[in-house]
Amino acid sequence: MNQLLAHIEQYKKEITAIKISSKEDLESFRIKYLGTKGILKNVMGEMKNVPIDQKKEAGQLLNEFKLFVESNYEALANSMETTSVKDKSNLDITLPGQPLSVGSRHPISIVHNKIVQIFQRLGFSVAEGPEIEDDWHNFSALNLPENHPARDMQDTFYISQNPDWLLRTHTSSVQIREMEKGDLPLRIICPGRVYRNETISARAHCFFNQVEGLYIAENVSFADLKQTLYFFVKEMFGTDVKVRFRPSYFPFTEPSAEMDISCLICDGAGCSVCKKTGWVEILGCGMVHPSVLDNCGIDSNKYTGFAFGMGIERITMLLYQVKDLRLFSENDVRFLRQFTSAI
Ligand code: PHE
């Protein structure tokens, strides 16, 4: 037992004095003390020579020694790691770093940015407004009084705390807010998310993104409207695309129209996307109704204006030939990864 104690003390001294400077040194330490034929095993083997009445005490001693060797080994291994990082000679600063995956821009954002850029070149600036609106800005000011049947065109989500509040169904509400400020002439586009209580399908969703536009000044005519939208279409879809206007109805514009472009998928020949007509509708537009101007405190005898509104999803689907609207909000990276853009 005394011999065992002496051995252990001796080894402890040895171990405490050890300095290592390489991985090889560390490995020899491990083999010498912790290996299958190493010192620890050896010392443990001495247990059998200890008299029975001292075995308990010896067991404790040996256990402590075991922990001592193991913790010293770990400490040496840790110090090796830190010194090798500190050791500049081992550090190759020319190695490329860990790559960061940055993802890609959402197709809706790409097209949103493209639309904004095109209109900015024509002098339009971006205006934004709240997604939770009141009845006035979303409906009444837009010539849609309560109980007007045209309110059914846009199935609305109301907010239960206050019957006057709703999720905006279009960004025309932003146009009202801007007109109310009274800074004329006014040339704005209003991009943003809008909400409608529609059954979700490949062609409709309960929320989507719009860009609406508004130009109010003296002597603005339908010709200005057409020219602006022609420019937009050519910039967006290319010069080969054909455009047509169809008379339509919106309570806030008079006259009103819908604009179609020749189908990009079949080039006008007729396919499932254009429902065999060769045309696809991309936006609604018209001359701002004089009552809307009056509602916002603008002199409708002096000023005229045009407005238009389009869904960004629709434009994106045509541009990238995406067949299902739901893909835009499902966050499936296999879909989203396919769109890259410098914008
Ligand atoms: N606000 C209309 C809609 O969301 C679009 C539109 C805007 C139509 C401006 C005409 C003029 O359906």
Q: 169 and 38 share a domain?
A: no
Cα–Cα distances in angstroms (integers) from residue 164 to residues 133, 136, 140, 146, 238, in the given order: 8, 8, 11, 11, 43
pLDDT of 245 reads 98
Q: How far apart are CA 319 and CA 302, in angstroms?
A: 39
Indicate whether 95 belongs to any domain.
no
What DSSP string describes 252-310? TEEEEEEEEEE-TTTTTS--TTTTTSSEEEEEEEEEEPHHHHHHTT--TTT-EEEEEEE
Count Cβ atoms within 10 A of the Cβ of residue 75 and give its class: 0-12 exposed, 13-18 middle, 19 or more buried.
Answer: exposed
Burial letters 9-37, b for 16+ CB under 10 A, else e: eebeeebeeeebeeeeebeebeebbbeee
Tell me how far the alpha carbon of residue 4 lies from the centroid of ligand 1, in angstroms.
Answer: 94
Structural domain range at position 37? 2-88
Ligand 1 center to 171 CA (angstroms): 8
**Does residue 93 form part of some domain?**
no
User: Could you tell me the distance, in angstroms and rounded to a whole number, from the CA of residue 94 to the centre of ligand 1?
Assistant: 57
Atom of ligand 1 nearest to the CA of 210: 4
Is residue 279 assigned to a domain? Answer: yes
Rounded CA gap, 286 and 215, in Å?
Answer: 11
Q: Whose CA is nearest to atom 10 of ligand 1?
A: 285
Is the CB of residue 127 below 6 angstroms from any atom belonging to ligand 1? no
**Closest residue by Cα to residue 15 from 49, 64, 86, 60:** 64
Residue nearest atom 6 of ligand 1, based on CA coordinates = 309
Question: Average pLDDT by consecutive 10-residue portion of the chain (343 residues)?
Answer: 84 88 88 90 86 88 91 87 66 85 90 98 98 97 90 87 95 98 97 95 94 98 98 96 97 98 90 91 98 98 98 95 94 91 52
In sequence order, the 6+-apart residues with CB closer than 8 A to the CB of 84 are 90
Is 308 a pocket residue for ligand 1 (Cβ < 6 Å)? Answer: yes
In this structure, the answer to whether residues 196 and 75 fall within a common structural domain is no
Ligand 1 contact via 282 beta carbon (within 6 Å): no
Nearest by Cα to 288 from 256, 259, 253, 255: 253
Confidence (pLDDT) at 47: 84
Residue 216 and residue 179 in contact, taking contact as beta carbons nearer than 8 Å: yes
Q: What burial letters (b/e) apply to 163-189, b meaning 16+ CB within 10 Å?
A: eeebbbbbbbbbbbbbbeeeeeebbbb
Verify whether ligand 1 is closer than 6 Å to residue 114 (CB atom).
no
Indicate if ligand 1 lies below 6 Å from the C-beta of 305. Answer: no
Which pLDDT score, from 0 to 100, does residue 24 have? 87
From ligand 1's centre to the CA of 297, what distance in Å? 21
> Do 113 and 208 belong together in one domain?
yes
Could you tell me if 125 and 199 lie in one domain? yes
CA 224-226-230 angle, 5° bins: 120
CB atoms within 10 A of CB 133: 27
CA distances from 92 to 19, 87, 95, 203 (A): 26, 11, 6, 55
What's at 2, amino acid-wise? N
Q: Which tokens is 259 given?
A: 């604009």
In a domain, 145, yes or no: yes
The amino acid at 234: K
Instruction: Tell me, yes or no, whether 128 and 264 share the same domain.
Output: yes
Is 303 within 8 Å of 221 (Cβ atoms)?
no
- From CA 115, how far away is CA 159, in angstroms rounded? 31
The number of folded domains in the chain is 2
Looking at the fold, whether 50 and 145 belong to one and the same domain comes out as no
Rg (CA), the chain: 38
> Distance (Å, rounded) from C-alpha 336 to C-alpha 210?
20
The reply to whether ligand 1 has any atom less than 6 angstroms from the CB of 311 is no
**Boundary of a domain, candidates 88, 117, 149:** 88
Q: Probe ligand 1: pick from 144, 220, 252, 314, max atoms within 8 Å of CB?
A: 252
* Residue 100 forms part of a structural domain: no
In this structure, is residue 97 part of a structural domain? no
Which of 88, 118, 137 is the last residue in one of the domains?
88
Q: Tell whether 32 and 125 lie within a shared domain.
A: no
User: Are 278 and 160 within one domain?
Assistant: yes
Residues 39 and 8 grouped into a single domain: yes
Overall pTM > 0.75? no
Contact 77, 282 (CB under 8 A): no
Left if phi > 0, otherwise alpha if psi is -120 to 50, otherwise beta: which for 315?
alpha
CATH number at residue 314: 3.30.930.10
Asked if 34 and 123 sit in the same domain, the reply is: no
Q: CB count, 10 Å around CB of 98?
A: 4
Both 132 and 79 in one domain: the answer is no
Whether residue 36 is found in the same domain as residue 114: no
Distance from the CA of 103 to the center of ligand 1, in angstroms? 34
> Which among 250, 243, 238, 266 is positioned nearest to 308, based on CA atoms?
250
How would you classify the pairing of strands 132-134 and 304-311? unpaired
